[in-house]
């Protein structure tokens, strides 16, 4: 598994993936900037008590707390936004890895564009809701990182593996295979979740996760055939 992760890491930054990587990261940064600007606009539009109310210190405290909470809320949303944008390109990444590393195997079938988009939106919403629900626990030192890795490891492992498996199997068989190898796929998902906690590298996490899961899927198929 570790060798598959290292292989996927190298491929994420290799020339064949560079164009997709740059487009994905560029769009992600743009979306985050727009979202951040929207938060700032919303904070500026909040009504003020006025300088005569308790000397104006209530307004100052409320503004500080609001901006602090805005940052706290924005941080967990970085990865869902990255996943949403990158989701438009993951089929392409999976196809490239399969073609370059497994040319003798039958190629996978790309999902229709709108189906891929709906899948990316659904997964993004799940990530947002689950991480917002876990947000209070993320503020607890010693618990936050472990909880983040466990929760997101499960979600990422499930989503990326099924994305790859559905290129080769009907939905029922893809889900059955994921459940059959649940522990290995969960550990692989945790590795991707670890990747998402590294600044800058987290922007490339969906590309790495997709390449990693292609290798994971191929390894499991090879084991079954042996």
In DSSP notation, 141-187 reads TTTHHHHHHHHHHHHHHHHHHHHHHTTTS-HHHHHHHHHHTHHHHHH
Q: Please compute the mean of the pLDDT values over residues 93-100 and round it to a whole number.
A: 87
Contact between 160 and 181 (Cβ < 8 Å): no
Tell me the pLDDT band of 218, cut-offs 50, 70 and 90. Answer: very high
pLDDT of residue 212: 93
Tokens 């700032």 sit at which residue? 40
Cα–Cα distance, 63 to 146 (Å, whole number): 31
Contact between 202 and 195 (Cβ < 8 Å): yes
The closest alpha carbon to 24, from 206, 214, 209, belongs to: 206
Q: Please compute the mean of the pLDDT values over residues 21-44 and round it to a whole number.
A: 70
Contact between 82 and 205 (Cβ < 8 Å): yes
pLDDT of residue 220: 92
Q: Where are the alpha helices (DSSP H) in the chain?
A: 2-12, 15-44, 57-86, 90-101, 113-133, 135-138, 144-165, 171-180, 182-196, 205-225
CA 117 to chain centre: 14
Q: Please compute the mean of the pLDDT values over residues 39-48 and round it to a whole number.
A: 59
Highest mean pLDDT among 85-89, 93-97, 183-187, 206-210: 183-187
**Residue 59, Cβ density class (10 Å: 0-12 exposed, 13-18 middle, ≥19 buried):** middle
pLDDT of residue 54: 44
Q: How far apart are the first and last CA of the chain?
A: 17
Per the model's pLDDT, the better-predicted residue between 101 and 23 turns out to be 101
Q: What is the value of pTM for the model shown? A: 0.74
pLDDT of residue 151: 86
Q: Count of CB atoms within 10 A of residue 151's CB?
A: 19
């Amino acid at each position: 598994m570790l060798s598959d992760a290292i292989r996927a890491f190298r491929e994420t930054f290799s020339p064949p993936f560079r164009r997709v990587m740059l487009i994905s990261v560029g769009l992600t940064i743009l979306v985050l900037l727009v979202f951040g600007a929207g938060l700032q606009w919303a904070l500026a539009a909040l009504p003020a008590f006025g300088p005569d109310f308790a000397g104006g210190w209530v307004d100052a405290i409320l503004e500080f707390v609001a901006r602090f909470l805005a940052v706290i809320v924005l941080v967990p949303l970085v990865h869902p936004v990255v996943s949403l944008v990158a989701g438009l390109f993951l089929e392409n990444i999976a196809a490239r890895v399969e073609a370059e590393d497994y040319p003798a195997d039958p190629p996978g079938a790309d999902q229709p564009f709108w189906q891929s988009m709906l899948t990316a939106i659904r997964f993004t919403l799940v990530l947002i809701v689950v991480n917002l629900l876990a947000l209070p626990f993320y503020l607890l030192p010693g618990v936050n990182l472990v909880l983040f890795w466990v929760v997101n490891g499960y979600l990422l492992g499930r989503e990326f593996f099924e994305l790859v498996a559905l290129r080769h199997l009907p939905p029922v068989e893809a889900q059955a295979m994921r459940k059959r190898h649940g522990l290995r796929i969960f550990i692989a998902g945790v590795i991707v979740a670890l990747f998402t906690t590294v600044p800058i590298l987290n922007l490339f996490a969906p590309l790495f996760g997709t390449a990693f899961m292609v290798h994971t899927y191929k390894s499991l198929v090879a084991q079954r055939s042996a």
